[in-house]
Structure 1
Amino acid sequence: MSEGPINLNKARKARAKALKRRQADENAVAFGRPKAQKRKEQAEAERARRDLDGHKRET
């Protein structure tokens, strides 16, 4: 059984805080990279795209 009554206002605020923390963690992963790393990943993606285009057959 539960310990007692639940303060719904605190529960709502805790849920909103957890949601904001999760969003901040996702943003840190997406945008918290050094410029050199972003350029390297962009160059790798471009190289992969060119390699894939190079393997296409001409019709």
Structure 2
Amino acid sequence: MAKVTNLSRFRKDRAKSAKRAQADENAVKFGQTKAQKDKARAEAEKAARELDGKRRD
């Protein structure tokens, strides 16, 4: 006898895996980790402070 398959469960699993694949694709295309964002923000703030420190009056 064949194993009984719940078609709605199968459909939901397939949709979930498609969404996960799209999310992974978008993360590669657009995403940065939080650590990368924090590092970039800290570097920008440091550069602004150094520039302000070297400014003449």
With structure 2 as the length reference, what TM-score do the two structures score? 0.52
Equivalent AA in structure 2 for residue 6 of structure 1: T
For 1:27, the equivalent position in structure 2 comes to 26
Moved over 4 A (4+): none
State the Cα distance separating 1:18 from its structure 2 match: 0.2
Larger radius of gyration: 2
For 1:16, the equivalent position in structure 2 comes to 15
Number of positions where the alignment pairs a residue of Structure 1 with one of Structure 2: 35
Equivalent AA in structure 1 for residue 8 of structure 2: N
C-alpha distance in structure 2 between counterparts of 1:20 and 1:32, whole Å: 16
Equivalent AA in structure 1 for residue 16 of structure 2: K
With structure 1 as the length reference, what TM-score do the two structures score? 0.50
Q: Give the secondary structure class of the aligned counterpart of 1:19.
A: helix
Q: Give the secondary structure class of the aligned counterpart of 1:20.
A: helix
Return 5+ residue gaps in structure 1 as ranges.
Answer: 37-59
